[in-house]
Amino acid sequence: MDWLTRMNDTLDRIEQQLDGRPDVEALAREAYSSPFHFQRMFHALTGYPLGEYVRRRRLTRAAQELAASSIKVVDVALKYGYESPEAFAKAFRKTHGVTPTMARQPGCRLVAFPKLRFHLSLKGEEEMNYRIEKRDRFTIAGASIVVSCENGENFRRIPQFWQESGQNGTIGRVLELCPGQPLIGACTDFRIVGEKDESERFRYMIAVEAPTGTVPEPFEHEGAEFVEREVPASTWAVFTAVGPLPESVQSVSLRIYSEWFPSTGYEHAGGLELELYLEDGGPDSDAVTEIWVPVKLSSQ
């Protein structure tokens, strides 16, 4: 239940930040997750990308303020993060079907997107098999791109990166770094220095486990930057997803957060999550993927 309480606390924190820029990193820390995986978990559990949920709640609150007060439209637009009244009016009309000015008219029908709450649902579904692994720190090396979480870009760009990397030979180049190792998907380098929206960006890697120094200096290949990163020593809960990609991984990831964490004595340790692609699958076989989640006991 502690996990459920923390997730609902993040919803309360989002409400407090609607008139500013939500601090994704702080929200993720409160949920004991990384910024990327918090947003993926939020999307999986609610059906809405975090940015879309925030946008809908802002426009709901904006409509309520316009209907109940004499506040200027331009002030409401600025309060809820819009750079101009025109941009605000366009978003407002798309959601409510009327202009901000029309929202002041008596009897005007507006749309209210309610604040969400998380609840534990005991469904009695199939068991979840997992194992606990303890590993010392190790190094991964491979191809990477910088991805934004803004407007759900990460959900589109990462699958595209995998597809492009398979077509242009990048995956083959990654496998050559340490032959015999499975491909790994990993998110690193949150808050990249120098980016305008630091808290919304991270580096996504298609990598393999490799000795330190495999990529002594970053280099470019087919639009991707080859780098290496250290994975800290951790205790991992390891789950296996079997089936077509990416659906099998998404399904197991949802169950990890909605069923496994609430029903065990573990909580997310806040480090990197890894996806190990053990078998590609094909016309007559399923893909086999391991999802590695850093965990710690709740009492620690």
Query: What would be the CATH architecture of the domain defined by 130-297?
Result: Alpha-Beta Barrel (3.20)
The pLDDT assigned to 172 comes to 96
The pLDDT, as a whole number, for residue 113 is 92
Domain boundaries, the chain: 1-119, 130-297
Q: What is the pTM of this model?
A: 0.75
- What pLDDT is attached to residue 240? 96
Q: SS3 string of 148-172? A: ECHHHHHHHHHHHHHHHHHHCCHHH
User: Which residue type is seen at 55?
Assistant: R
Q: What is the pLDDT of residue 61?
A: 94
Beta-bridge mates of residue 89: none
Report the pLDDT value the prediction gives residue 195, as an integer from 0 to 100: 40
pLDDT values of the chain reduced to their tens digit, one per residue, 300 residues: 566 788 889 999 999 989 877 788 788 877 777 777 787 778 777 878 888 899 999 999 999 999 999 899 999 999 998 889 999 999 999 999 999 999 999 889 999 999 998 876 655 556 788 999 999 999 999 999 998 876 677 778 998 999 999 999 999 999 999 999 999 999 887 754 444 444 467 889 999 999 999 999 999 999 999 999 999 999 999 999 999 988 898 889 888 877 888 778 888 887 788 999 999 877 778 999 999 999 988 754
Tokens representing residue 173 in the block:
């180049």
Q: What is residue 217's predicted lDDT score, i.e. its pLDDT?
A: 95
Please give the pLDDT value at position 95. Answer: 92
Catalogue the E-assigned strands of the chain: 130-135, 138-148, 183-188, 201-209, 219-221, 224-231, 234-243, 266-268, 274-279, 287-297
> Pairing between strand 201-209 and 138-148?
antiparallel
Q: 1-119 and 130-297: same fold?
A: no
Q: What is the pLDDT of residue 123?
A: 58
Architecture of domain 1-119: Orthogonal Bundle (1.10)
Q: Which residues contact 225 (CB under 8 A, 6 or more apart)?
A: 143, 144, 145, 218, 219
